Amino acid sequence: MNGEVMKIENKIRQLGYTLPQSSPAGAIYTPVRRVGNTLYVSGQIPWLDGQVKYSGKVGSERDVKYGQEAARLCILNMLAAVKNAIGDLDKVKQVVKLTVMVSSETGFDKQHLVANGASQLLVDIFGPDGCAARTAMGVNQLPMDVTVEIEGIIEVE
């Protein structure tokens, strides 16, 4: 990471977050697939200690702030999956792309603001290397009624 001496996990703790344990795949897929120096990270949900922590649709049922909190937990789960796959988050060179899916009520059009919760956390952790290309989209339903699901592409050493 451009000569930074601070370890990424220390940075996460300094920001007030705890890296969760990586969850095993819940179906027929792998959480992370490595191709060369690129990691393709399967969709991560706001799951912690074996439970969904954020559920429901953003709109009148859930607000943008709630969605942003869900998005941040998805990112922490993504980083846990990456650590599980490569052993050390300091091997991350850059976050290349995020796809943020927001379970949305009809008429809700602020998915990009929900996705900002994920993007800002990555920038806070990795600096400019955390600022990824991004797609934010509203979807009718996500597995287990989660509020947000995020998949990513990450370049590593």
Residue 30 in domain:
no
Structural domain harbouring 140: 38-156
pLDDT digit string, tens, across residues 19-61: 999 888 888 999 999 999 999 999 999 999 999 999 999 998 9
Residue 23 in domain:
no
Residue 26 in domain:
no
Residue 13 in domain:
no
The type of residue at 79 is L
Of the CA atoms within 13 Å of residue 89, those in its CB half-sphere come to: 25
User: What SS3 class is residue 25?
Assistant: coil
Count of the separate structural domains present in the chain: 1
Output the domain CATH number for residue 107: 3.30.1330.40
Residue 62, beta-bridge partner list: 58
pLDDT digit string, tens, across residues 1-12: 444 446 999 999
Residue 110 in domain:
yes
The token pair at 73 is 């937990």
**CB within 8 Å of 50: residues ≥ 6 apart:** none
- C-alpha 49/C-alpha 106 separation (Å) is 31
Residue 16 in domain:
no
DSSP strand pairing (92-103 vs 133-139): parallel
The token pair at 150 is 């995020």
